[in-house]
Chain A
Amino acid sequence: MSTATATHAHDAHHGHPSGILRWLTTTNHKDIGTMYLTFALIMFFVGGLMILVVRAELFEPGLQLVQPEFFNQLIGVHALVMIFAALMPAATGFANWQIPLMIGAPDMALPRLNNWGFWLLPPAATLLTLPFVLALFGIGEGAIATGWTFYAPLSVQGGIGVDFAIFAVHILGISSIMGSINIIVTIFNMRAPGMTMMKLPLFAWGWLITAFLLIATIPVLAGAVTMLLTDRHFGTHFFDAAGGGDPILFQHLFWFFGHPEVYILLLPVWGLIPHVMSTFSRKPIYGYKAQVYGFWAIGALSVVVWAHHFFTAGMPVPALLYFMYSTMLISLPLAVLFFCWIATMWRGAMTFETPMLFALGFIVLFGIAGLTGLVLADVAADAQYHHSYFVVAHFHYALFAGGIMGVMTGVYYWLPKWTGHMYDEKLGKLHFWLTAISFNLTFIPQFFLGLAGMPRRIPDYALQFSEFNAISTVGAFILGFSQLIFAWNVWKTVRGGKKATDKVWEGASGLEWELPSPPPYHSWETQPVLK
């Protein structure tokens, strides 16, 4: 295997522009990765701020801070921002930084496309949030108020915020598809000699499946929102029964994208977790092949289970049964992943640095998401859970504990490699414990709210829901403010700190750890050879 001597630093050789132009014109995978991650972090706080307003309103019964119209805008834009502008860009940032380092490639295969893919994001985020600002000047009714799901005919009825959101989703979709093409081409063509597909790091495998899912489903979403746009402005009736259309058609199209989207957000994390488990258990990854096949199985199943998101819309009994049983089937490949993660720890020699804490926290809390998902698959019980806070709690266990905490695992794990500095371990641990505890404080009460019968997306509630809502709001504020520790810790690490070694972690293995920390601007110019 080649070593780090194969690379050399020549940051300034080609007369790179500096300052803002450097970032605007860069085609370097590390620069673009950094921009993706920075953008994701900023939008994470934007989306978080929105939901803190919502939680503050829900602290007690009655309307105190916001009116229902604005409330409805906040919940929908919160979700769109968190999914499309925080979690997805964070995962793409990881891919940009890590995939070339991990597979021994000098850069991404399509660097200019890569630049374009990133620079589409800020305009899209602006489109999403601009209607809030326009409303202040008396233009339009504000942002999209339909929830992130765009359900017709409510979205046909909505104001200009819906149009803005449609265009934002189109742009975000184009960006995602470009990123996906780039990742697929890179993985297929630029692996180091000797790195067969079955030696590909699991992180790259997870992303590869994600990329295929994105290419398969984003066009369906784009089609659905375009049909919505023509229903709104060009007199078509795709979703209007009076013109021969069907509102439920929209839900089918939306969730054909929406369900795989869950795995799009999670597969990169599932790819990352085994690396972390292996590193901190000082033991090779258990069941590599099983995990790869698990990824494929989940990817394939994810596109055939979509209708479990709207069992209450009413469908024929055979359809109900099919979607119920196919959904339950997903628990099998997921169980394979859990089994392998725990088997990787088993009889290792564990230490519990921050990335390991986040990975373990991820496994436990994501386990709750998986198990509640299993009961949600049951059509009869789903009639009670659906549209209630039970579902809200469930998908936050999947997307916050699964998605966001997974991303934090990756940041703490790779940050020393990227910056060349060790992060502050004490702050990292504080951040973990505050996050894990306040997350549960926020969302455990929401399970009970849902069981007791509180519907989601309501700005005010009956009195028997008061206590749990108060607790949940307190939790949400602690959770929100704890993330400032994270931002501060990252900032400190970027600026300086204890020098990180090339290998960073005692038990780390893989090509990226053979490069210096931080790796030079251009790495793996001579590809390493795997024996």
Chain B
Amino acid sequence: MRNRNANLHGNSGSASARDDWKIDDLEEEATLNAPPITIPGVGRWLAGLLLLVPAFAARADYSWNFPTPVTPIARDTLKIHNEFMIIITVLFVVVFAIMVYSMIKHRKSGGAKPAEFTGPKSRLQWFWVLVPFAILLFIDFVLMGIPAFHAVLDMEDTKTKADMVLKVTGMQWKWQYEYPDSGIKFISTMSTPREQINNEAAKGENYLLEVDNEVVLPVGKKVRVLLTATDVIHTWWVPQFGVKRDAIPGFLRETWVKIEQPGVYRGQCAELCGKDHGFMPVVVRAVPEPEYVAWVDKKKVELAAAAAGADKTWTKDELVAKGKEVYEKQCAVCHQANGQGLPPAFPALTGSKMVNGPLFSADGKLIPDSHVDRVLNGKAGTAMQAFKNTLGDVDLAAVITYERNALGNAKGDMIQPGQVKSLR
């Protein structure tokens, strides 16, 4: 565990300077001074205890509060949060100072004689009893209530003066991003290797918070974010945007962001969505307008090239090679890299009846509940999604061909992107 500076911040440089604590160092110290401990991990536990004091003293702002805000909503939220924290801290201190005073002053060992009163008697006493509640009402509905009111209205104002739309679709366990204005559409999956998660390799700087395809958004533009999901509820969250909104299957929800500084911003799914809930990060790269335009053009060319691939005839080897890539990104989380699956929830593909069944019916039509049908249309009520919504024709043809000719299967047949296209 060397790189301990991974963070949700865009400007990782500024964040990393703050954090020089390494558990390893402390552990070494702890074990040096202690008698030899044979149980593995005990040193680390000791380190956890030792860290208490120095960690609290040494950490700068981000551990103690929200990460640096980069949108108007996040700034507003942070301001409100800070004010509220001060209010409740004052309330806490005042109320419990009274309590502690009483505990010291009114103790039997100090010779206190108990009083007999059970409630306010005089007008004056009633006045003093009611004052705290008047103050609380004021705090609730004026001090806190009014700023909260404005913040809510601002947060929900997704429609006025939106410059562009980003559509986010949550699915187990990745995000799909669509730019309706330019027709760009791609999937973003976590790129942290399994070896790092399984502690077989050193963890990288952005451990668990890195993806293959980042969402790119222009700085200074109001982006209306539409959210939905294909299977279960997911939640799109980037702490520095101050925005967290559920993606609900079958419904559209919306929110908005206006990023003020260029940078890379990291977050993750916040609603328990099954096995790999902890492994579906959100990474947004905010860039100046011209750079964004250039990115859009580049992406369009890439998509055109992919679409062109759908019209050509591929060899089986080409398809299998391409299919391996797709499989490892899209399918291996559940069906595993070797095709053995995690039964009973995630069936094995190796030797599967379905995978080794026919591709099409005799007249070239889709067979219900066949291999092609399952990949294209998914299975309702399970994590197996309808991949025709998220993958292109080439990827689909490649992955189907790969599954039939690898992972211990040797069916020998293949499906062309053009055929997939006609089955959509």
Q: At the interface with chain B, which of A25-33, A41-49, A346-354, A510-518?
A: A346-354
Decide if A464 touches B103 in the complex (CB within 8 Å): no
B243 lies within 8 A of chain A by Cβ: yes
Decide if A345 touches B233 in the complex (CB within 8 Å): no
Give chain B nearest CB distance to A530 CB in angstroms: 17
The residues of B that contact A441 with a CB separation of less than 8 Å are 52
The residues of B that contact A284 with a CB separation of less than 8 Å are 116, 118
B145 lies within 8 A of chain A by Cβ: yes
**What CA separation (Å) do A120 and B157 show in the bound complex?**
51
A424 lies within 8 A of chain B by Cβ: no
Give chain B nearest CB distance to A259 CB in angstroms: 18
| Contact A463 to B140, CB < 8 A, known contacts A387-B244, A471-B48 | no
How many chain A residues touch B (CB < 8 A): the figure is 104
A393 lies within 8 A of chain B by Cβ: no
The residues of A that contact B80 with a CB separation of less than 8 Å are 378, 380-381
Decide if A455 touches B269 in the complex (CB within 8 Å): yes
The residues of A that contact B6 with a CB separation of less than 8 Å are 462-464
The residues of B that contact A458 with a CB separation of less than 8 Å are 268, 277-278
The residues of B that contact A282 with a CB separation of less than 8 Å are 108, 114
Give chain A nearest CB distance to B151 CB in angstroms: 3
How many chain B residues touch A (CB < 8 A): the figure is 119
**What CA separation (Å) do A383 and B272 show in the bound complex?**
16
Give chain B nearest CB distance to A211 CB in angstroms: 26
B137 lies within 8 A of chain A by Cβ: yes
Contact pattern, A 348-372, Cβ under 8 Å of B = 1, otherwise 0: 1111100000001001100110011
The residues of A that contact B32 with a CB separation of less than 8 Å are none
Decide if B153 touches A325 in the complex (CB within 8 Å): no
A286 lies within 8 A of chain B by Cβ: yes
The residues of A that contact B237 with a CB separation of less than 8 Å are 387, 453, 455
The residues of B that contact A380 with a CB separation of less than 8 Å are 73, 76-77, 80, 148, 151-152, 154-155, 242
B251 lies within 8 A of chain A by Cβ: yes
Give chain A nearest CB distance to B65 CB in angstroms: 5
The residues of B that contact A471 with a CB separation of less than 8 Å are 48-49, 51-52, 55
Give chain A nearest CB distance to B90 CB in angstroms: 10
Q: At the interface with chain B, which of A125-133, A215-223, A240-248?
A: A240-248
Give chain A nearest CB distance to B378 CB in angstroms: 12
| Contact A312 to B102, CB < 8 A, known contacts A153-B232, A332-B137, A379-B155 | no
- CB < 8 Å: which of A145, A374, A467 contacts B144? A374
Nearest neighbor of A455 in chain B, beta-carbon distance: B270
Sample (13) of A-B pairs whose CB atoms are under 8 Å apart: A62-B203, A153-B233, A154-B233, A232-B381, A247-B249, A288-B118, A313-B246, A345-B106, A350-B102, A352-B103, A381-B77, A381-B148, A457-B272
A residues apposed to B, CB below 8 Å: 59-64, 68-69, 72, 140-141, 145-147, 151, 153-154, 156-157, 159, 232, 240-242, 246-248, 281-290, 310, 312-314, 317, 320-321, 324-325, 328-329, 331-332, 335-336, 338-339, 342, 345-352, 360, 363-364, 367-368, 371-372, 374-375, 378-381, 383-384, 386-388, 441, 448, 451-453, 455-464, 466-468, 470-471, 473-474, 507
Q: A59-B41, A64-B199, A72-B275 are in contact. List 7 more A-B contacts (CB 8 A).
A: A157-B381, A317-B156, A339-B133, A372-B88, A375-B85, A383-B73, A470-B47
B residues apposed to A, CB below 8 Å: 1, 3-8, 19, 21, 23, 41, 44-45, 47-49, 51-52, 55, 59, 62-67, 73, 76-77, 80-81, 84-85, 88, 91-92, 95-96, 98-99, 102-103, 106-109, 112-119, 129, 132-133, 136-137, 140-141, 144-145, 148-149, 151-156, 196-199, 203, 205-209, 231-233, 235, 237, 239, 242-246, 248-251, 253-254, 266-279, 342, 344-345, 380-383
